[in-house]
Each structure stands twice: as C-alpha cells, then as structure tokens.
Amino acid sequence: MKKRFDLDKIDLQILSILSKDAKTSYAEIGKALFVSGGTVHVRIRKMMEYGIIKGSKLSIDFAVLGYDIIAFIGIYLHKSQLYKDAALALEDIPEVIESHYTTGGYSIFAKIICKDTNHLREVLSEKIQKIDGIERTETFISLEEGINRPPEIYRTDQQGKHKKKVKGKSAS
C-alpha cells in the first residue's frame, strides 16, 4: 500500500496550473509561485511517484478531423456481474473514448465519437449491441459541449473538509 502524500499549498498550486495547461514549463510555474524551477521539478516528480500525477493528455478537436457526432450511451446489462467482460469488449471499440461503471438505471455509461449518424448507427448495431451481456442501450447525442474544464483543486483539513480554493496561474 502506498504511503499517503500530504500536499501543501505549493503542490496544490502546481496541480492547478498544470490542470489548465500541462505544457507550462517548470520555470513558468516557479515564477508564478515564487519558487525555483528545480523546486517545481522535484515536487512534480514526487507527485508522479505517488500516483497523484498520472501523465498529461493531448486535447484534440475531433470535429476538425471529421468526427461530428459525440454521443453518450447508457448501457443496460443482463446482470451486473457481466460488467468486467462488457468493459473489456468496449475497450476494443476505438470509437468508445470513455466508459464508466455507474449506479442508477444504467450499468455502464459510455462516451463515443463518430463521423456521422451512419457511423453512429454502425457502432451501435454492429459493435456495442453485439457484446455478450448487453441487454439494450439508450443513446444521447450531444448538440453542444457547454463546459469542459478541469476541476478546481481545494485544500482539505485533517477531517477532509474543504478549505479555501487554491489559485493558480490563469489560463492564457
């Protein structure tokens, strides 16, 4: 079991800055927080070792590449015990870009990208609905993404209560 890593204000500010722009240099972060780039480097490396930072992601505008449909699929399973097998099968479908095991009406809630409605129909009928254990699906097509941002990072006290929001460098 990993030892708990206690984040201080500087660590949280580093995370806040990187969550807005993962390409921000250590020197820029250091300048914004009044610490050295070396200090930032050491803290980031330590947060990576503890699994707090898992990597960085590239943000792609899929519409520019011709993927005009983003849809969310509510997936009903015959039995909840079939989740692992169904999740593994969904991983083999390249159009499925997110999958969540959920409470409520659906067993799985997935996000997919498709080029058009014909592609969406093909993914649903020829790939997703053919997975063993899937009883049925419900599809929700996104008309517009209203919000896409990283979560705000808060400090917590020993009892897990939220403290004041940590301010980082504003996104440019």
Claim to verify: residue 54 and residue 70 sit in the same structural domain: no
Is residue 159, in this structure, part of any structural domain at all? no
Claim to verify: residue 126 and residue 67 sit in the same structural domain: yes
Claim to verify: residue 137 and residue 85 sit in the same structural domain: yes
Is residue 72, in this structure, part of any structural domain at all? yes
Cβ pair 166, 16 in contact under 8 A: yes
Q: pLDDT tens digit string along 97-114?
A: 999 999 999 999 999 999
- pLDDT on residue 130: 97
Cβ pair 99, 85 in contact under 8 A: no
Is residue 163, in this structure, part of any structural domain at all? no
- pLDDT on residue 64: 95
Is residue 168, in this structure, part of any structural domain at all? no
Tokens 């699994």 -> residue: 51
Residues of the chain with pLDDT under 70: 1-3, 154-172
Claim to verify: residue 70 and residue 49 sit in the same structural domain: no
β-sheet bridge partners, residue 134 = 77
Look up the CATH number of the domain holding residue 33.
1.10.10.10
Task: Report how many domains make up the chain.
Answer: 2
Look up the CATH number of the domain holding residue 68.
3.30.70.920
Claim to verify: residue 54 and residue 72 sit in the same structural domain: no
Claim to verify: residue 97 and residue 130 sit in the same structural domain: yes
Is residue 161, in this structure, part of any structural domain at all? no
Domain residues for 81?
62-141
Claim to verify: residue 78 and residue 125 sit in the same structural domain: yes
Claim to verify: residue 125 and residue 87 sit in the same structural domain: yes
Claim to verify: residue 86 and residue 26 sit in the same structural domain: no
- pLDDT on residue 163: 59
Claim to verify: residue 122 and residue 54 sit in the same structural domain: no
